[in-house]
């Protein structure tokens, strides 16, 4: 069923291209007017630096306006919002979008589908955000579910976006559990439809990409079953029509400069950036900040790293099995020249680094300690405040909450993977043998908490309220 659905998606894309053959958005009655069509995914919040936030700040348009003052040309920018990568690819094949951002699996398909079409051939030119563990894809189940691990989904119906990185991540999780895709019934659905199916009990689980799993968790409509940690990186990136940006190199350079400025804005103004994205998309700002804030699940970085190239290559067999693509030369798909022009001599150094530039730092006044270790650094967002408070450890964060006040959200790193999760929905473990500031440990899933307790005698699984009440003990 999955392979058929994916093939149909790309047959539709091919049909769209044929219908639009000969059509180009670069054409104009005025030779001095250049059309620029940008494809983005507003709800996929780890692409905001090449989409929602860039648009909201007006960065790209401002740069093109300055270029126009120098060369006498007018640049007409149009933004096209898509729910996922496949329909965006269809529009790029049809010549209606020149620059687009999407997830790693759709990115591969985009490159493969356009590789032999000279007029619409695309190249991978930058990255928006990534997670080296794969935790931008996660699996959630209803709160009433008895499932504790992926293996407990055997024989159940699971909603996912077929052909997406979330689909591939889930298959990897099944393989790690000694299962095959045939051991579950995969239902191909767009993320919002899948969320509704989960809430109504039509499916046993939802395997999706950012931000849908944690939105379900935050809204109390489900709990995390698998945090996506397969050890295979996942990312979103930017592709551009090669013929277009060779004809108008200033456009792509302006786009990448704007993307860099949007990325710097996330680093420097993380809470404000989350609020802007939330306002534009209708997503809860607390969820946006979970992913895009300091130490968030997303590391924003434009450079195309070897780990991400390796992840793209690792995903090709899966996509080939689905019939989504044939042979594909990933190395030939990459064009780092525009980024090298942007960063100059710093490019190699920046590409080699995987440190998150948006690190959570500060001073913990409750525990009288500096905040910096990403394995323990935690954060609280007080109600009615435009700033957050930091804590050196999750235990210290609980003490902060216990001291009084109301909070919009609590953020802690998962003890097992380090992935940022909501503290109030975490499964907690009490470890009396640990140092006082480390005795309360948060886990994103019940299964991981149970596994920790099984291997650490004397520890105990507790809920959030019990952990909060015992934070001073």
**CA angle, 70 as apex, 67 and 73 as ends, to 5°?**
70
Q: Rounded distance, CA 119 to CA 373, Å?
A: 49
- Residue among 59, 393, 36 at smallest CA distance from 257: 59
Which tens digit of pLDDT belongs to each residue from 307-350? 999 999 999 999 999 999 999 999 999 999 999 999 999 999 99
Asked if residue 427 has pLDDT above 90, the reply is: yes
Residue linked to tokens 């470890």:
431
Q: Rounded distance, CA 458 to CA 186, Å?
A: 40
pLDDT, mean over the chain:
93
Q: Rounded distance, CA 46 to CA 158, Å?
A: 24
How far from the centroid of its chain's Cα atoms is residue 3's Cα?
24
Which tens digit of pLDDT belongs to each residue from 117-172? 999 999 999 999 999 999 999 999 999 999 999 999 999 999 999 999 999 999 99
Q: Rounded distance, CA 356 to CA 299, Å?
A: 6
Number of other CB atoms surrounding residue 432 within 10 Å: 9
What is the pLDDT confidence band of residue 3, given thresholds at 50, 70 and 90?
very low
DSSP string, 245-284: HHH-HHHHHHHHHHHHHHHHHHHH-HHHHHHHHHHHH---
> 2-132+233-352: which CATH number, 3.40.50.720, 3.30.465.10, 3.40.190.10, 3.50.50.60?
3.40.190.10
Helix (H) or strand (E) holding 442: strand 440-443
Q: What are the tokens at 464?
A: 């959030």
What is the pLDDT confidence band of residue 264, given thresholds at 50, 70 and 90?
very high
Which tens digit of pLDDT belongs to each residue from 12-34? 343 333 333 333 444 445 789 99
Class of domain 137-226: alpha beta
Strand ordering across the sheet containing 185-188: 185-188, 157-160, 205-209, 137-141, 223-226
Name the β-bridge partners of 364. Answer: 369
Residue linked to tokens 């189940």:
141
What is the pLDDT confidence band of residue 448, given thresholds at 50, 70 and 90?
very high
Q: Using CA of residue 461, residue 466, residue 471, residue 473, what is the dihedral sign?
A: negative
Share above pLDDT 90 across residues of the chain, in percent, rounded to a whole number: 92
Q: Rounded distance, CA 445 to CA 179, Å?
A: 20
Q: Provide the pLDDT for residue 10.
A: 40
Q: Rounded distance, CA 442 to CA 378, Å?
A: 11
Whether 38 contacts 78, CB under 8 Å: yes
How do the domains of the chain map onto residue ranges? 2-132+233-352, 137-226, 362-469
Biggest alpha carbon distance in the chain? 76
Q: What are the tokens at 96?
A: 């209606």
Helix (H) or strand (E) holding 172: helix 165-176
Q: What average pLDDT score do residues 242-250 get?
A: 98
Whether 447 contacts 374, CB under 8 Å: no
End-to-end CA distance of the chain: 54
Q: Provide the pLDDT for residue 19.
A: 35
Q: Rounded distance, CA 409 to CA 411, Å?
A: 7
Q: Provide the pLDDT for residue 473.
A: 61
Q: What are the tokens at 386?
A: 């435009």
Asked if residue 354 has pLDDT above 80, the reply is: yes
Q: Provide the pLDDT for residue 37.
A: 98
Q: What are the tokens at 432?
A: 């009396």
- Residue among 106, 98, 134, 77 at smallest CA distance from 24: 98
Q: Rounded distance, CA 24 to CA 418, Å?
A: 46
Q: Rounded distance, CA 407 to CA 442, Å?
A: 18
Q: What average pLDDT score do residues 258-272 get?
A: 98
Q: Rounded distance, CA 5 to CA 23, Å?
A: 28
Q: Provide the pLDDT for residue 21.
A: 34
What is the pLDDT confidence band of residue 241, given thresholds at 50, 70 and 90?
very high
Which tens digit of pLDDT belongs to each residue from 54-100? 999 999 999 999 999 999 999 999 999 998 899 999 999 999 999 99
Q: Rounded distance, CA 467 to CA 131, Å?
A: 29
Q: What average pLDDT score do residues 277-293 get?
A: 97
**Is the omega angle on the peptide bond into residue 211 within 30 degrees of 0, that is, cis?**
yes
Asked if residue 269 has pLDDT above 80, the reply is: yes
Q: What are the tokens at 62?
A: 């401002």
Q: Rounded distance, CA 394 to CA 400, Å?
A: 10
Number of other CB atoms surrounding residue 143 within 10 Å: 12
Bigger pLDDT: 204 vs 7:
204
């Amino acid at each position: 069923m999955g392979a058929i659905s994916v093939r149909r998606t790309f047959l539709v894309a091919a049909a769209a291209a044929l219908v639009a053959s000969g059509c180009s958005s670069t054409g104009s009655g005025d030779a001095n007017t250049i059309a620029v069509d940008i494809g983005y995914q507003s709800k996929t919040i780890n692409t905001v630096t090449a989409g929602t936030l860039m648009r909201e700040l007006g960065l790209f348009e401002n740069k093109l306006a300055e270029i126009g003052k120098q060369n006498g040309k007018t640049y007409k920018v149009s933004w096209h919002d898509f729910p996922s990568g496949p329909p965006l690819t269809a529009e790029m094949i049809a010549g209606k979008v020149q620059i687009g951002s999407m997830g790693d699996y759709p990115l591969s398909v985009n490159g493969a589908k356009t590789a032999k079409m000279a007029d619409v051939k695309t190249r991978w030119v930058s990255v928006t955000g990534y997670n080296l563990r794969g935790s931008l894809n996660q699996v959630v189940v209803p709160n009433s579910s008895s499932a504790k691990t992926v293996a407990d989904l055997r024989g159940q119906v699971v909603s996912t976006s077929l052909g997406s990185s979330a689909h591939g991540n889930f298959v990897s999780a099944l393989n790690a559990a000694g299962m095959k895709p045939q051991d579950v019934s995969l239902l191909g659905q767009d993320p919002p439809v899948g969320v509704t199916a989960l809430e109504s009990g039509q499916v046993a689980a939802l395997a999706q990409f950012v931000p849908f799993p944690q939105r379900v968790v935050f809204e109390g409509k489900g709990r995390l079953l698998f945090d996506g940690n397969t050890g295979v990186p996942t990312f979103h990136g930017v592709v551009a029509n090669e013929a277009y940006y060779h004809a108008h190199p200033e456009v792509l350079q302006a786009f990448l400069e704007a993307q860099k400025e949007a990325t710097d804005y996330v680093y420097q103004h993380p809470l404000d950036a989350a609020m802007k994205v939330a306002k534009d998309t209708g997503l809860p700002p607390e969820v946006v900040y979970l992913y895009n804030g300091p130490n968030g699940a997303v590391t924003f970085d434009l450079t195309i790293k070897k780990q991400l190239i390796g992840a793209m290559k690792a995903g090709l067999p899966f996509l080939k099995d689905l019939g989504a693509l044939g042979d594909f030369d990933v190395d030939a798909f990459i064009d780092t020249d525009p980024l090298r022009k942007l960063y100059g001599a710093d490019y190699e150094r920046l590409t080699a680094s995987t440190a998150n530039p948006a690190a959570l730092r500060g001073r913990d006044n409750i525990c009288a300690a500096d905040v910096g270790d990403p394995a323990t650094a935690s954060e609280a967002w007080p109600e009615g405040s435009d700033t957050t408070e930091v804590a050196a450890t999750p235990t210290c964060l609980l003490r902060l909450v216990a001291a009084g006040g109301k909070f919009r959200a609590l953020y802690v790193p998962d003890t097992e993977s380090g992935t940022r999760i909501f503290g109030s929905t975490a499964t907690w473990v009490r470890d009396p043998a640990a140092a006082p500031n480390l005795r309360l440990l948060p886990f994103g899933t019940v299964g991981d908490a149970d596994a920790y307790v099984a291997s650490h005698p004397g520890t105990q699984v507790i809920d959030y309220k019990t952990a909060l009440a015992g934070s001073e003990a």
